[in-house]
Amino acid sequence: KNKLMNIHEYQAKNILKDYGAPVSSGVVIYSINEIREKIRKLNGKEFVLKAQIHAGGRGKAGGVKLVKNILMMPKFISLYVNIIDSICEKVGRFVMYWVFFMMFLLILSFVTRNIINFPLMWIIEMAQFTITAYYLLGGGYSMLADDHVRMDLFYGRLSKKGKAKMDIFTSIFLIFYLVLLFLGSITSLIYTIETKQKLFTAWAPYVWPIKTLMLIGILLMLLQAFSTLFKDIANIKEKKI
């Protein structure tokens, strides 16, 4: 006499997997409290939630759902982080090549001053402007790549969550400092433009171009500081950006 065997989809997949058949990854969730722990094992951003019942037509009855962002930060935070990280990376990579322009200026200064005896009065100040813009505009990228210089006494011994908590604590002071620096740079730029400020040198260049670049560089660092803060919060909550 023929006997019917009623098994759930996940049970059928396990049987097929045991015999080497390719099946999609999945987990069985028995309680809502298990969702976060088991979903992490799948390491994905989108999932298909399927009710396990002995009946057909699950999809029409609402038993099959596409689920997104279970372990994701809010969408606006993810969008902010992705945009700011992309801007800082592009600006940083572009500014990296300015160091070659600065080296060219310094070599040109040496040649004109010491070899052909025709010194250019503007060249040293232009090199100083270039290196200043190089450091400030590249600040956001340095924060993104975590390549800035720091003294590490015990930070390296902390766990991933411990480092994130420490970074959040120190970010408060960094953001406060950058906000003050940003407000000060706005005031300084306005004053420079209104007074048509120049350097008291033989070349006497206007100061507003370099102060504008300083303002942009500080703004990028401030925005990147918030981006880093959001990523640290995501690490603590074990969520993805």
Measured on CA atoms in the order 234, 235, 238, 239, is the torsion positive or negative? positive
> Which residue ranges of the chain lie beneath pLDDT 50?
none
CB atoms < 10 A from the CB of 193, how many?
14
* Residue-by-residue DSSP string for 2-42: -------HHHHHHHHHHTT----------SGGGHHHHHGGG
- CB of 225 within 8 A of CB of 231? no
Q: How far apart are CA 190 and CA 22, in angstroms?
A: 66
pLDDT number for residue 1: 52
How many CA atoms lie less than 13 Å away from 175 in the CB half-sphere? 14
Burial tier of 102 (Cβ tally within 10 Å: 0-12, 13-18, 19+): middle
pLDDT number for residue 95: 92
Q: How far apart are CA 70 and CA 67, in angstroms?
A: 7
Q: How far apart are CA 191 and CA 202, in angstroms?
A: 22
pLDDT number for residue 227: 95
- CB of 38 within 8 A of CB of 18? no
Pairing relationship of beta strands 64-68 and 46-50 according to DSSP bridges: antiparallel
Q: How far apart are CA 147 and CA 142, in angstroms?
A: 5
- CB of 192 within 8 A of CB of 207? yes
Q: How far apart are CA 185 and CA 176, in angstroms?
A: 14
Q: How far apart are CA 153 and CA 134, in angstroms?
A: 29
pLDDT digits (tens, 9 = 90+) for 172-186: 999 999 999 999 999
- 88-91: long-range contacts (C-beta < 8 A, 24 or more apart)? 88/140, 88/141, 88/143, 88/144, 88/220, 88/223, 88/224, 88/227, 89/141, 89/144, 91/137, 91/138, 91/140, 91/141, 91/220
Element (H, E) at 47: strand 46-50
